[in-house]
Chains A and B, each alone.
Chain A
């Protein structure tokens, strides 16, 4: 008896809540713009990166909303609907459908991993909702020629390897210490293979003989045998393409087994992950080179806009943001810029505004370090990678040399392990 009454009361309360919710959201919809955000937060090696990007994205939304939202929409606030992809394309596809059809988002951002972004952004194209690709580098993402998929803050993977190769050529020339032999170590995924293919071609052009060329399964339990073999090949320069877990393992092994080379050049990703140096150890990570999609604090945090982001991020999370966080932060501002010009939360209007994006020398381009405009396939071809060297646990931009902070001198070739 008592139970049934309670049950009735509960149902009444629940239906009231549902009703209120429905009414509330109807009245609310006019002054919010719903943004779907797909990012790996668990269940994958990329989760650590996803967490950083998610934090920065939330921070950008907060900043935009604090500043009065989207002015062209009467101060409409951004509302982030975040989804954990777990690095699983199938989850992302299903969630993209849900975000579009159930949550009715106006635009999507995501999803870091190429293997996830590639199939999931096809859903956005199908329903004609714009998708801003953050850092997924697979070339085909924009080469499909989709109308609704934009890539403002990443270039195809080959661009990353090209920058590394350009740097190696430049460093050999300016120091007079040219590498003669090279090694290519990469994870056995499409990303790893794309970079390795480019690097192989570029080394051949530079006259560097490839003496070691091997991939490994990502997230390997034991890479020691690979490093033993690498050591036996005695390469002058080693190109590495790895995510965090493997990058950490490889560098620790290189230090332990004292693999001596003129330079080790990482390909951003794992080598610029905020946990790379602390996990490898300051000594073992010393003097490693890596490409980076972002030039770092000294070179890029030069405006009040950038400083606000940096200070608040550091204040909140006790960690320095890296390329991942910076890019995620910028992507939301790129969206804001388009929303202001679209003057509408309609996906089609946002698409048209995004396509006309043209940013030069503003706060956002100074933060990321390159201009932003799209070609006919909605690809921003203006992005470049820089190369940095880790010294005493800090990253210093060494290429292009105009971005090198005053007082830093590149070490090339790096000393043998026995001399450190």
Chain B
């Protein structure tokens, strides 16, 4: 029984982090309809930045978050402006396949770049905070788990409010729904794309910092979480912000509880099978809006 309760909490905690890993992708995916295969690599970049902020600058892991977020926002803006935009513009009429290829290249490039920059070793953040625990009877909650849960819900909430109540947020939503109509209304879609991509990566910055507290980083970490982020985005419904968090929680719970009853080697298959089932019965995702 203790195991099940512990697994339940663990599933929610890792699920929340999966959720915000997927959140940025969902935003980009929803607004631009692009498949960004470099998402996992950007997560890796965020984790390394956090690692360096804690080890070189001596910052507390939580204090490093604003710094990492700021850097990733700029990286995101620049990537969209100078790298993806030129590719995207050429193929704006159909599904942007070139962007898929391009981001695949970027994925390989970034992984190898960080192999050169950081070496192949596994790294964990400096400081003891990440190992701290709350003990509640037989249940054990680590600081990063609790922080991950709180921050993930907070970030999701903030993004929902931003999209609903700010001018920019509404412009992003409008562009995502119908680019032509939005541009008739005087919305500069290129600017919206840059901002969305940048916000997407900024959120990934938060995710990377939180993830580093529970998982060591190496240059190829992106492969582990990248595909999973796509699954979550589709599960929750492309472009749905709450859906990304819900999808993440769902994957976290499947993984954690599933492993209590089945060998953990089946976790991945279980996640993908449920993903296929959801796709079949609700192609728009659990929280997506049906579209024509």
Contact = CB atoms under 8 A, between A and B. Distances in A.
Whether A and B touch (Cβ < 8 Å) is answered with yes
Nearest to A276: B122
Given A231-B3, A258-B140, A279-B216, A223 B264 contact: yes
B240 interface: no
Given A228-B3, A244-B122, A275-B121, A256 B142 contact: yes
Interface stretch (B79-87, B178-186, B254-262, B282-290): B254-262
Given A48-B121, A279-B124, A283-B131, A228 B10 contact: yes
A219 interface: yes
Interface stretch (B93-101, B155-163, B167-175, B218-226): B218-226
Interface in B189-232: 215-216, 218-220, 224-225, 228
Nearest to B124: A279
A407 interface: no
B58 interface: no
A146 to B, nearest CB: 31
Interface residues of B, number: 39
Chain A contact patch, size range: 35 or more
A214 B263 contact: yes
Given A214-B263, A231-B3, A256-B142, A225 B255 contact: yes
A217 interface: yes
Contacts of B142: 256
Interface in A242-267: 244-245, 248-249, 252, 255-258
Given A255-B131, A279-B216, A228 B120 contact: no
Interface stretch (A39-47, A71-79, A100-108, A338-346): A39-47
Contacts of B215: 221-222, 249
Contacts of A365: none
A408 B178 CA distance: 72
B131 A284 contact: yes
B104 interface: no
Interface in B75-133: 112, 115, 119-124, 128, 131, 133
A228 B224 contact: no
A245 B216 contact: yes
Nearest to B123: A279
A159 to B, nearest CB: 26
B131 A225 contact: no
Given A221-B215, A224-B10, A279-B216, A214 B122 contact: no
A275 B11 CA distance: 28
A386 B133 CA distance: 34
Contacts of A223: 264
A229 B265 CA distance: 14
Given A51-B120, A229-B260, 15 more contacts: A41-B120, A214-B263, A215-B265, A217-B268, A220-B264, A222-B255, A222-B256, A225-B7, A226-B264, A229-B3, A231-B3, A256-B140, A279-B122, A279-B124, A281-B124
Interface of A: 41-45, 47-48, 50-51, 188, 214-217, 219-226, 228-229, 231-232, 244-245, 248-249, 252, 255-258, 275, 279-281, 283-284
29 contacts: A42-B112, A42-B219, A43-B220, A45-B218, A47-B115, A48-B121, A48-B122, A214-B264, A215-B264, A221-B224, A224-B14, A225-B259, A225-B267, A228-B256, A228-B260, A231-B6, A232-B2, A244-B122, A245-B122, A248-B122, A248-B216, A249-B215, A249-B216, A252-B131, A256-B133, A279-B124, A279-B216, A283-B131, A284-B131
